Amino acid sequence: MSRTKRGALFALASIPLIMTLGNSMLIPVLPAIRRELELTPFQTGLIITVFSVMAILFIPPAGWLSDRIGRKRVILPCLILAGIGGAVCTAAVIWFKPPYPYLLAGRVLQGIGAAGAAPVVMPLVGDRFKRKEQVSEALGLIETSNTFGKVLSPIIGSALAMLAWYAPFAAIPVFAAASALLVALLVRAPARQAEPQPLAAFLRALRSIFRRHGRWLFAVCALGGLGMFMLFAGLVHLSDVLEDRLGLSGVWKGAVLALPLAVLSAASWLAGKWIGDRKRRMKAVAVTGFALSACAAGACAAADGVWLQLALFGAAGLGIGAALPCLDAFITEGIDEEHRGTVSSFYSSMRFAGVALGPPAAALLGRPDAAPLFWCLAGAGAVSTIIAWLAIRPGEPNPRACTGPRLIGRPSPGR
């Protein structure tokens, strides 16, 4: 990989890292926010959920727009908008009474910005890296950056909260500006090979794509959402439990929450390097990963003690982390460049849907007994295993064609 591509990959990896920090670093601070603003657990969870809902709504338009005008022209303004959203949240808690409605408004802006930043990274990687093994490795690094952001999030969020409980909101504009600068300097958008299709022709082509390849596309999208649901529901619950039952707070609490996320991050990186362009291997890793997460979540329901639950949730994180780069690679390598941004946006929307549902599930099912929540997560893992096993069917090996879900826009064997 050339130095220019390494620099571009570093800049692109900063986007999911920063977007993850902007959301996940609030998780260890949620109990403090609830106390300071006198909110219910459900209202507190909405601070995470409203961000994700906005992302769900605006990711598809952002993906389509990136196919039309270019990825970089969408990413940069959206990073700026995410920073503005963080500034609005900070102003709300300092100057407005009551701050909660304005805080949610800032999270709306931040979610819209995230919709046009992080999800467009994946198709841009596919545009920049043409060799399939480089795409898989680059996507593994992008997914690792995403999960590494989750590892850093509880530590950074807890450390910032020691300065002021609202300091994590104030850090978001700084992080977003740094990422925007890296992208502006290091990422060179690839030259367009052709003029974009007219909207009517584009929609007909997209409808044809989902008609012919909907089975595996919908399966991968559903798996992304289920994986994020399991992760965020478990994290929000553990954040409350560590503080309420063990009295952990501050950086110590953040460090403990980071442990299962570190396992997830390492699994994503290793899986991205190991799967290469081997679609059968991708399916095997995805099925095994989700099966492991289902078993670990079920064991959490029967486990006695917070530390044992934390260790078992780390095993669930290992399975989810191994599966995610496989899902990314299926989407990116299975879609031609012209439609990659739009199609991958549906996958990103489903991942944000999982994030949005996680906190309310933790609030409703995790109290007073956490067993219903963990059985729910185990069920989600079991469903994911079945979907990955039945709906993703790699084709026969062919040295001139993709061996997984057939590449859209390229001839497949026998055609």
Region 290-315: mean pLDDT is 90
Q: What percent of the chain has pLDDT over 90?
A: 20
DSSP state for residue 2 in the 8-state scheme: -
- Distance of alpha carbon 195 from alpha carbon 178, whole angstroms: 32
Q: What is the DSSP letter of 194?
A: S
**Tokens 């893992």 -> residue:** 381
pLDDT number for residue 338: 63
3-state helix vs strand vs coil in the chain, percent to 5: 80, 0, 20
62-104: pLDDT as tens digits: 877 877 787 888 889 999 999 999 999 999 999 988 899 999 9
Q: What is the pLDDT of residues 19-50, one digit of tens each?
A: 778 777 888 888 889 889 988 888 888 898 88
pLDDT single digits (tens) 44-69: 888 988 888 888 888 778 877 877 78
Q: What is the pLDDT of residue 264?
A: 84
SS (H, E, C) the chain: CCHHHHHHHHHHHHHHHHHHHHHHCCHHHHHHHHHHHCCCHHHHHHHHHHHHHHHHHHHHHHHHHHHHHCHHHHHHHHHHHHHHHHHHHHHHHHHCCCCHHHHHHHHHHHHHHHHHHHHHHHHHHHHHCCCHHHHHHHHHHHHHHHHHHHHHHHHHHHHHHHHCCCHHHHHHHHHHHHHHHHHHHHCCCCCCCCCCCCHHHHHHHHHHHHHHHHHHHHHHHHHHHHHHHHHHHHHHHHHHHHHHCCCCCHHHHHHHHHHHHHHHHHHHHHHHHHHCCCHHHHHHHHHHHHHHHHHHHHHHHHCCCHHHHHHHHHHHHHHHHHHHHHHHHHHHHCCCHHHHHHHHHHHHHHHHHHHHHHHHHHHHHCCCCCHHHHHHHHHHHHHHHHHHHHHCCCCCCCCCCCCCCCCCCCCCCCC
What confidence score (pLDDT) does residue 143 get? 67
- Average pLDDT over all residues of the chain: 80
> Is the confidence at residue 404, as pLDDT, over 60?
no
Closest of 135, 247, 203 to residue 342, by C-alpha = 203
Phi-psi region of 414 (alpha: psi -120 to 50; beta: other; left: phi over 0): left
What pLDDT, on a 0 to 100 scale, did the predictor assign at position 337? Answer: 62
Instruction: Give the pLDDT confidence score for residue 406 in this predicted structure.
Output: 41
Delimit the domains of the chain by residue range. 3-184+201-391
Residues 3-184+201-391: name the CATH superfamily: MFS general substrate transporter like domains (1.20.1250.20)
What pTM does this model have?
Answer: 0.70
Placement of tokens 């609005």 in the chain: 88
For 213-234, what is each residue's pLDDT tens digit?
677 888 888 999 999 999 889 9
For 146, the token pair is: 């995403």
339 falls in which pLDDT band (50, 70, 90)?
low
* pLDDT confidence band for 296 (50 / 70 / 90): very high
The predicted pLDDT at position 192 comes to: 55
pLDDT grade for 2, boundaries at 50, 70 and 90 = low
Query: Is the Cβ–Cβ distance between 45 and 359 less than 8 Å?
Result: yes
The residue assigned the tokens 């620099």 is: 7
Q: Is the pLDDT of residue 288 over 70?
A: yes
What are 150-200's pLDDT values in tens digits? 778 888 888 898 889 899 999 999 999 998 998 888 877 665 555 655 666
215 class by beta-carbon count within 10 Å (0-12 exposed, 13-18 middle, 19+ buried): middle
Q: How far apart are CA 339 and CA 284, in angstroms?
A: 27
